[in-house]
Chains A and B, each alone.
Chain A
């Protein structure tokens, strides 16, 4: 059971906008920043969003992050077939005193 809760799956058609949610508590998302990672099949996770809504160099602006209270969201606009991957949210947890992850959301592009 992951500390952060994500829907196990999401889907969309090419060009569509999809959002993936991440729910936590006051000891993690509620008091710390959120990151998002994308993991293509058989590869390592890659940082997609850090500090709630910041994109690392090279990440297209189709990807955006937001946070409100103890929840966060990742939005992907202009969905492309190559966006089909697993997406993980993460944050520092004050109770664990370390980083925690969501269980991951498998995004399917129909």
Chain B
């Protein structure tokens, strides 16, 4: 069973860079041609998609965060990572990694996308 686990700095100062890693176990990140995503959830609020990437290096980001986000992968360690620059208090949230998120055209002409499975999430607080 595929499992994802986030890790990284839990406290980041304003204007600095948030860095998180998602370790994948129970399967290879390189198999299946899946996309890999980051999603966040501010305390007591809803979910916001941050971005996804393919192992080819192709990335796709939420336009509201695009100028500050970068995703990368380390195949040898079976993990992928998130960097978010110039953070503010508004970036305080639980950050989740997940498999999926990319657009998959259906035979009916629609786009299907979903996230499964998810990591347990890690709280990142932006504060001086």
Complexed CA–CA distance, A100 and B46 (Å): 11
Q: How many residues of A contact B (CB 8 A)?
A: 28
Q: Given the complex, which residues of B lie within 8 Å of A88, measured CB to CB?
A: 46-47
Shortest B105–chain A CB gap in Å is 10
Q: A92–B103 contact, CB under 8 A?
A: yes
Q: How many A-B residue pairs have CB under 8 A?
A: 75
Shortest A36–chain B CB gap in Å is 10
Q: A96–B63 contact, CB under 8 A?
A: yes
Q: B112–A32 contact, CB under 8 A?
A: yes
Question: Majority SS of interface residues in chain B?
Answer: loop
Q: A31–B118 contact, CB under 8 A?
A: no
Q: Which of B89-128 contact A (CB under 8 A)?
A: 96, 101, 103, 106, 110-121
Chain A CB within 10 Å, residue with most, of B48, B61, B116: B116
Q: A33–B110 contact, CB under 8 A?
A: yes
Complexed CA–CA distance, A96 and B46 (Å): 17
Q: Mark B29-54, 1 if CB is under 8 A from A, else 0.
A: 00000000000000000111100000
Residue from B61, B114, B118 in contact with A35 in the complex, judged by beta carbons closer than 8 Å: B114
Q: Given the complex, which residues of A lie within 8 Å of B115, measured CB to CB?
A: 35, 37, 45, 47, 90, 99
Q: Given the complex, which residues of A lie within 8 Å of B62, measured CB to CB?
A: 96, 98
Shortest A95–chain B CB gap in Å is 10
Q: Which residue of B lies closest to A33 (CB)?
A: B112
Q: Given the complex, which residues of A lie within 8 Å of B120, measured CB to CB?
A: 43-44
Given A44-B121, A92-B103, A98-B62, verify A50-B46 contact (CB < 8 Å).
no
Q: Mark A18-54, 1 if CB is under 8 A from B, else 0.
A: 0000000000000111010100000111110011000
* Further contacts, 7 of them, CB under 8 A, given A94-B111, A96-B63: A32-B110, A45-B47, A45-B115, A46-B117, A50-B114, A88-B47, A104-B47
Q: Give me 16 A-to-B residue pairs in the complex whose CB atoms sit less than 8 angstroms apart, sorted by A's number.
A: A32-B113, A37-B115, A43-B120, A44-B119, A44-B121, A47-B117, A88-B46, A88-B47, A90-B115, A92-B103, A92-B111, A92-B112, A96-B63, A97-B63, A98-B49, A101-B49
